[in-house]
């Protein structure tokens, strides 16, 4: 059964007609399917089927553990959105949990961003990210019904695109309760920066960068 209706498929085909570079969705599930693995796999395959610029690779989290380690995948379902083609590049953009509800827009916008290779961030932010000397890890906790969550995830993913030292994770809070409990997630979006620094709500770019400076000092 299709997860996307014909109207949405048509809209996406129109949007994907503007894609320039190739994009690969690298998906990790497991044979004994987790609760949302089947739906996440179906969604990735349906989206990839709407454009010849999008490819999907599917791995078993257990059987393909070495590949999972290469992508630093530690929970499932998980999706890495990478540049495809002859010179693939992993920008550190991750989705943990099914990107449904409001987060479906995150998946689509991430595909467009990776295809273009352009984050759209302010030049000052790009310059600051280019000068990073230590790793920066964003974990943005979300739920599918949260309208404020996609902008928070997208900002983390934009920063991941700009620097090899940055990784940005969308973490579906309900699907990943062990991680949500670890970081005491009571509301969403909640952004965890390098384990010990936190930001509530969908912060604008300048506010997030101020928190980044605090986390790295």
- pLDDT tens-digit profile of 93-140? 999 999 999 999 999 999 999 999 999 999 999 999 999 999 999 999
The Cα–Cα gap between 73 and 150 comes to 21
pLDDT-based confidence at 2, cuts 50/70/90? confident
What is the pLDDT averaged over residues 182-197?
97
Query: Is 171 in a helix, a strand, or coil?
Result: strand
Mean pLDDT of 56-66: 97
Q: Residue 117 and residue 93: Cα distance in Å, rounded?
A: 13
For 20-52, write each residue's pLDDT tens digit: 999 999 999 997 768 899 999 999 999 999 999
Percent of residues, the chain, with pLDDT higher than 90: 96
Q: Measure the CA–CA gap between 55 and 44, rounded to whole angstroms.
A: 9
Q: What is the CATH number of domain 6-116?
A: 3.40.30.10
> What backbone phi and psi angles, to 5 degrees, belong to 35?
-55, -40
Which fold, 123-216?
Glutaredoxin (3.40.30)
Pick from 188, 163, 27: nearest CA to 95: 27
- How far apart CA 86 and CA 92 sit, in angstroms, is 18
Domain regions of the chain by residue span: 6-116, 123-216
Give pLDDT tens digits for 71-90.
999 999 999 999 999 999 99
Both tokens assigned to 129: 């990210």
């Amino acid at each position: 059964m299709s997860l996307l209706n014909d109207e949405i498929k048509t809209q996406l085909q129109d949007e994907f007609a503007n894609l320039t570079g190739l994009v690969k969705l690298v998906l990790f599930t497991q044979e004994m399917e987790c609760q949302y693995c089947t739906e996440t796999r179906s969604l990735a395959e349906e989206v990839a089927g709407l454009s010849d610029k999008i490819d999907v690779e599917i791995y078993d989290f257990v059987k393909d553990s070495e590949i999972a380690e290469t992508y630093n995948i530690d929970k499932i379902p998980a999706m890495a959105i990478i540049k495809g083609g002859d010179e693939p590049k992993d920008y550190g953009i991750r989705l943990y949990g099914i990107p449904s509800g409001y987060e479906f827009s995150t998946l689509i916008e991430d595909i467009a961003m990776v295809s273009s290779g352009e984050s759209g961030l302010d030049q000052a932010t790009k310059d600051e990210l280019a000068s990073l000397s230590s790793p920066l890890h964003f974990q943005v906790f979300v739920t599918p019904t949260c309208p404020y969550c996609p902008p928070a995830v997208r900002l983390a993913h934009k920063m991941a695109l700009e620097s090899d030292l940055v990784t940005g994770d969308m973490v579906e809070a309900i699907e990943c309760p062990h991680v949500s409990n670890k970081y005491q997630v009571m509301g969403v979006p909640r952004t965890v920066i390098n384990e010990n620094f936190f930001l509530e709500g969908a912060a604008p770019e300048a506010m997030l960068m101020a928190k980044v400076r605090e986390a790295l000092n």
